[in-house]
Chains A and B, each alone.
Chain A
Amino acid sequence: MTNPKGRFGIHGGQYIPETLMNAVLELEEAYNHYKKDPEFNRELTELLNEYAGRPSRLYYAEKMTKDLGGAKIYLKREDLNHTGAHKINNVLGQALLAKKMGKTRLIAETGAGQHGVATATAAALMGMECVVFMGEEDTIRQALNVYRMRLLGAEVIPVKTGTATLKDAVSEAMREWTSRIADTHYCLGSVMGPHPFPTIVRDFQAVISKEIKEQILQKEGRLPDAVIACVGGGSNAIGSFYHFIEDPVVRLIGCEAAGRGIDTFETAATINTGRVGIFHGMKSYFCQDQYGQIAPVYSISAGLDYPGVGPEHAYLHDIGRAEYVPVTDDEAVNAFEYLARTEGIIPAIESAHAVAHAMKIAPAMDPDKIMVITISGRGDKDCAAIARYRGEDLHE
């Protein structure tokens, strides 16, 4: 769905400093070459299967289905991947591509730390240097992931500017890339930033919906009625949606982090509360004030705490192909606890936003309807923060 200039409707584009233009053009050229290269694809498939543990399971959540008393619920278990989230799908693809391009160093931004951990992992595996930028606020919220990255040999740089969260980590990674391009690939973690990143990351994450489609056809003999995923930048959601976009019978639902509610300023629900703007290399929806200053956003989830959304989601929203709904901190925490108790699965707090929305709509759906929820990551990293949210004095 990408046109040659990297546009999704009016969204997307390449709004970056001239210093980076040849780097993204070189990346685009390399990607267009290697995506058709059988050897590249063979190596990537082997990494995904043998190293990351794909395909991930499509699990029938029978207890949850019975408890909610509506649609039949399947969970796409991206939490079972190596490193505990969907992020590894994209990182293995980009790291392999970077290596083919002769790069020896990966830099990345991270919010919750999952993308940073995945990048540090791929760098360790492929013998590359790795530097991860993480908002200082997030290094505190996700201290365990900071340690994991260091354990894997990466350098973690806490970013103190702005709101010291994901958006500032992206800005700092972009600044770092402008200062060192020759040996460095910016391994962007979501379907955002300048073209070709939204396309590359989507293609590497599309394995999720490719598998869902095969698995559900095998199990149920038909397509699901709804696919639900959480949306920050939107990589697990676009990965979950992609192979269903041309199947209009499948409802595609993205769950945005509403924080304390979309009627408050403490929210990160970009499509629900933002306006079209230009930032971090792309035209898309952004939370911003009337003068275009990017708004400080808030969510309990460090991974969804971002003021923008990928341009393809902005487009799917504009044409009405996907719905984007807000889910509050409270609802997500309830769903986090619910899935743990009901299915024995502790989801990432990001993924819990998708579970929360499913809990709202499943009971009203007929039992012959089928819904797939992508569990984008596992929730071990969030346990301490959720305990504190519930008033327990637990620190890592």
Chain B
Amino acid sequence: MSNIRKAFENGKAFIPFITCGDPDLETTAAAVKAAVENGADIIELGIPFSDPTAEGPVIQSANLRALSGGITTDQIFAFVKELRRDVKVPMVFMTYANVVFSYGAERFISTCKDLEIDGLILPDLPFEEKEEFHPLCKRYGVELVSLIAPTSGNRIAMIAKEAEGFLYIVSSLGVTGMRSEIKTDLASIVQVVRENTSIPCAIGFGISTPEQAKKMADISDGAIVGSAIIKLLEKHGKDAPKYIGAFVKSMKDAIR
């Protein structure tokens, strides 16, 4: 059983997203540790990209803040190496295809293995293009996480059958960001997923409150939260980790 899969054994999983280097790597490290101490089951680490087309304004700004601080992929790799000494939960990288491609796919993915990065989420790599990186992910044991969207319809079964790690179900149309209400019929999406795979699925996009997280985790195996955490970093900067810890605790308690 993969480490990612094991992380779903402890009740419903809570998966926070944090952009590396926003506002600096020291804060990222403290934020990750605070999240883990307060119940995060998997950590989704964002490697910033200059033009993140799947992100709403909150995560776009986090990417730009990190990049304007001069952060690079190499610095993030060195940082994760350090971080791995203290953080034992599974970690996945979330970034864009060009960051991996440009670094050299094999060099990037083999480094993930060395760093004990368990998975890779690339929002601009749909099922049709996964051959770009999937053979290398397979070779180095890094799970390539697939996404399912409210518009996936007849594609859900095809994607679910080949999915690995966990399935990332996008809750709503549009980009990342907080939403007051999630209207998609997610239960029927999850049902099709269940009919086609035994790997866990977690819901993300638009979740910011414990109530929403509970609702999403009730119909799936976990909740992914990005923008609400990034908001705390935007607001509190270097002081954000303690607020992130409290926030993660409230979310994990709600879905447990």
Do B129 and A18 touch (CB < 8 A)?
A: no
Are A162 and B51 interface neighbours, CB within 8 A? yes
A265-320 with Cβ < 8 A to chain B: 275-281, 286, 288, 290-294
Contacts A288-B102, A292-B101 given; does A278 touch B151 at CB 8 Å: no
* Cβ-defined partner of B102 (8 Å) among A21, A175, A275: A275
| Candidate in B67, B73, B149, B153 with the most chain A CB atoms within 10 angstroms | B149
Q: Which residues of B53-99 have CB atoms within 8 Å of chain A's CB atoms?
A: 53-54, 56-57, 60, 64, 67, 72-74, 96-99
Q: Is A13 an interface residue (CB 8 A)?
A: yes
Binds B, one of A177-185, A343-351, A372-380: A177-185
In contact, A21 and B53 (Cβ under 8 angstroms): no
Cβ-defined contact, A280 with B53, below 8 A? yes
Whether, in the assembled complex, B142 has its beta carbon less than 8 Å from a beta carbon of chain A, the answer is no
Q: Is B50 an interface residue (CB 8 A)?
A: yes
**A33 at the B interface (CB under 8 A):** no
Q: How far is the CB of A366 from chain B (nearest CB, A)?
A: 44
Note all chain B residues with C-beta closer than 8 A to A278.
Answer: 96-98, 101, 124, 132
Cβ of A161 within 8 Å of any chain B Cβ, yes or no, is yes
Number of interface residues of B (CB under 8 A): 44
> With A and B bound together, what is the CA distance between A20 and B152 in angstroms?
9
Look across to chain B and name the residue whose beta carbon is closest to the beta carbon of A295: B50
Write the chain B residue with the least CB distance to A275. Answer: B102
Kindly state the interface size class of chain A when it binds its partner: 35 or more
Q: Judging by beta carbons under 8 Å apart, are B51 and A179 in contact?
A: no
With an 8 A cutoff between CB atoms, is A22 at the interface?
yes
In the complex, what distance in Å separates the CA atom of A146 from the CA atom of B159? 42
Contacts of B96 in A (CB 8 A): 278
Closest Cβ of chain B to A15, distance in Å, is: 5
Interface segment out of the listed B27-35, B168-176, B228-236: B168-176
| Distance of A369 Cα from B147 Cα, bound (Å) | 55
Task: Tell me the bound Cα distance from A15 to B97 in angstroms.
Answer: 8
Contact status A281-B127, CB under 8 Å = no
Instruction: For A160, give the chain B residue with the smallest CB separation.
Output: B57
Q: How far is the CB of B55 from chain A (nearest CB, A)?
A: 8
Q: For chains A and B in complex, what number of residue pairs have CB atoms within 8 angstroms?
A: 120
Q: Evaluate contact between B174 and A175: CB separation under 8 angstroms.
A: yes
User: How many angstroms between the C-alpha atoms of A276 and B103 in the bound complex?
Assistant: 11
Q: Per a CB cutoff under 8 Å, which of B50, B53, B60 touches A17? A: B53
Q: Are the C-beta atoms of A21 and B174 separated by less than 8 Å?
A: no
List the A side residues contacting B154 at CB < 8 Å. 22
User: What chain B residues lie within 8 Å of A179 (beta carbons)?
Assistant: 173-175
Chain B 33-57, CB-CB to A under 8 Å as 1, else 0, gives 0000000000000000111011011
Report yes or no: A19 in contact with B150, Cβ–Cβ below 8 A: yes
- B157 interface residue per 8 A CB criterion: no
Report yes or no: A175 in contact with B127, Cβ–Cβ below 8 A. Answer: no
Whether A14 contacts B126 by the Cβ 8 Å rule is yes
Contacts of B126 in A (CB 8 A): 14-18, 21
A181 to B98 CA separation, bound complex (whole angstroms) = 25
B101 touches A277 (CB 8 A): yes
Given contacts A161-B60, A278-B101, A292-B101, contact A18 B147 (CB under 8 A): yes
Give Cα distance in the complex from A21 to B101, angstroms: 21
Q: Is the C-beta of B125 less than 8 angstroms from some C-beta in chain A? A: yes
User: Are the C-beta atoms of A17 and B147 separated by less than 8 Å?
Assistant: yes
Q: Judge whether B185 is part of the interface by a CB distance below 8 angstroms.
A: no
- B48 to chain A minimum Cβ distance, whole angstroms, is 8
Residue of A nearest to B153 (CB): A22
The smallest beta-carbon distance between B194 and chain A, in angstroms, is: 18
Residues of B within 8 A of A19 (CB): 149-151, 170, 173-174
Which of A22, A179, A281, A292 counts the most chain B CB atoms within 10 A?
A292
**Docked CA distance A250–B148 (Å):** 47
B162 at the interface (CB under 8 A from A): no
Cβ proximity bits A349-387 to B, threshold 8 Å, 1 near / 0 not: 000000000000000000000000000000000000000
Closest chain B residue to A180, Cβ basis = B173
Quote the shortest CB–CB distance from A171 to chain B (angstroms): 5
166-202 of chain A: CB within 8 A of chain B? 167-168, 171, 174-175, 178-181
Does B139 make an interface contact (CB < 8 A)? no
- Chain A's closest residue to B95 (CB) is A292
Which chain B positions have C-beta within 8 A of A175?
Answer: 53-54, 56, 174-175
A68 within 8 A of B: no
Q: Which residues from A are CB-within-8-Å of B103?
A: 291-292
Choice from B51, B60, B127, B170 contacting A294 with Cβ under 8 Å: B51
A5 at the interface (CB under 8 A from B): yes
Q: Is the CB of A292 within 8 A of B102?
A: yes
Known A277-B98, A288-B102: A178·B127 in contact at CB below 8 Å: no
Which residue, A167, A178, A286, has most C-beta atoms of chain B within 10 A?
A178
Say whether B6 faces chain A, with CB atoms less than 8 Å apart.
Answer: no
The digit string for B177-208, where 1 denotes a CB below 8 A from any CB of A, is 00000000000000000000000000000000
Given contacts A19-B151, A278-B98, 6 further A-B contacts (CB under 8 A): A18-B149, A178-B54, A277-B98, A279-B51, A292-B73, A293-B99
14 contacts between A and B (CB under 8 A): A16-B126, A17-B54, A17-B123, A18-B155, A19-B150, A21-B151, A171-B53, A178-B54, A178-B173, A179-B174, A278-B124, A288-B98, A292-B98, A294-B50
Residues on B facing A (Cβ under 8 Å):
49-51, 53-54, 56-57, 60, 64, 67, 72-74, 96-103, 123-129, 132, 146-155, 159, 170, 173-175
A-B pairs, 10 with minimum CB distance: A292-B102, A179-B174, A19-B149, A293-B50, A292-B98, A278-B97, A18-B149, A18-B147, A294-B50, A278-B98
